[in-house]
Amino acid sequence: MRLRNIPGADEVIRNCDWVIKEPADKKGKWNTVFGNENPIHIEVGMGKGQFITEMAKRNPQINYIGIERYTSVLLRAVQKREQLPTEEALPNLLYLCIDASELPEIFAKDEVAKIYLNFSDPWPKDRHARRRLPSKEFLARYDQILVPDGKVEFKTDNCGLFDFALEQREIAGWNLDGCTFDLHHDENMNEGNVMTEYEEKFSSMGNPIYKMIISR
Ligand code: SAM
């Protein structure tokens, strides 16, 4: 998703306290940023933030960090959050405006308990395969920041990207802890599912949603 450049988005994001600046300075110290020892879950390629906002509301005992590389997209998440009533202040939700390739510079080993990849960009050309967020190159980065039993959860409606992700996890030697080719009709895997913006859009068009859960 790349929204047209929104005038003023950079400045809003620069001045927003929920978006952590110079995040590499926080490496190994993220629990002090949240002020507690709760586990940290991140969503890589957050988009407009519907999924992670709802997760943060449902799970106050987990710290969430939404990662999005474009200020124009992150702006939408910040604007929606500003409209929440004060009692839903969500002290457990922060954002980073970075490219996911920087993750190992920002989080220390064992600092992240779970990584969500939701409807990641497919990068259909073969020569761009390493840019796909479930690629073995990205799995190696996730491995550098996850706790030993940490998990990556990936959802998409893109069959080719899902096949690629399954193949990449095998090449990279990750365990397949869960897999469905029709999430919304899979009672076990769908329990507690929170829909993303893309998930709502594509499932309403009748597309099945694929999901896998993997760990090292
Ligand atoms: N996760 C949301 C959803 O399911 O509705 C948004 C999906 S959208 C197709 C993918 C988002 O990931 C875009 O907003 C894009 O800017 C972001 N993104 C893609 N590659 C990224 C990267 N390497 N680092 C950070 N964000 C990325």
Residue 20: CB atoms within 10 Å: 18
Please determine, for residue 16, whether its predicted confidence score (pLDDT) is greater than 90. yes
Rounded to the nearest integer, the mean pLDDT of the chain is 97
Q: Kindly report, residue by residue over 101-153, the tens digit of the pLDDT.
A: 999 999 999 999 999 999 999 999 999 999 999 999 999 999 999 999 999 99
User: Residue 122: CB within 6 Å of ligand 1?
Assistant: no
Pocket test for ligand 1, best of 120, 161, 211 (most atoms within 8 A of CB): 120
pLDDT score, position 87:
86
Q: What is the enclosing helix (H) or strand (E) of 81? A: helix 71-82
pLDDT score, position 5:
83
Distance 101 CA to ligand 1 centre (A): 13
User: Residue 152: CB within 6 Å of ligand 1?
Assistant: no
**What is the spatial order of strands in the sheet that 175-180 belongs to?**
93-96, 63-67, 40-44, 112-118, 146-156, 210-215, 175-180
Q: Kindly report, residue by residue over 159-214, the tens digit of the pLDDT.
A: 999 999 999 999 999 999 999 999 999 999 999 999 999 999 999 999 999 999 99
Q: Are 138 and 155 in contact, with CB atoms under 8 Å apart? A: no
pLDDT classification of 3: cutoffs 50, 70, 90: low
Tell me the C-alpha distance between 114 and 131, whole Å.
Answer: 20
Please determine, for residue 2, whether its predicted confidence score (pLDDT) is greater than 90. no
ipTM > 0.95, yes or no: yes
pLDDT score, position 113:
98
User: Residue 74: CB within 6 Å of ligand 1?
Assistant: no
Helices 136-143 and 159-172: angle between axes, nearest 10 degrees: 50
Q: Are 133 and 69 in contact, with CB atoms under 8 Å apart? A: no
pLDDT score, position 39:
98
Average pLDDT of the segment spanning 74-96: 95
Among 159, 147, 154, which residue's Cα sits nearest to residue 213? 154
Among 114, 202, 206, 117, which residue's Cα sits nearest to residue 155? 117
pLDDT classification of 71: cutoffs 50, 70, 90: very high
Q: Are 119 and 199 in contact, with CB atoms under 8 Å apart? A: yes
Q: Residue 198 annotated as binding? A: yes
Q: Is 110 a catalytic residue?
A: no
Cα of 211 vs its chain's centroid, Å: 14
Is this structure's pTM higher than 0.95? yes
Average pLDDT of the segment spanning 77-83: 95
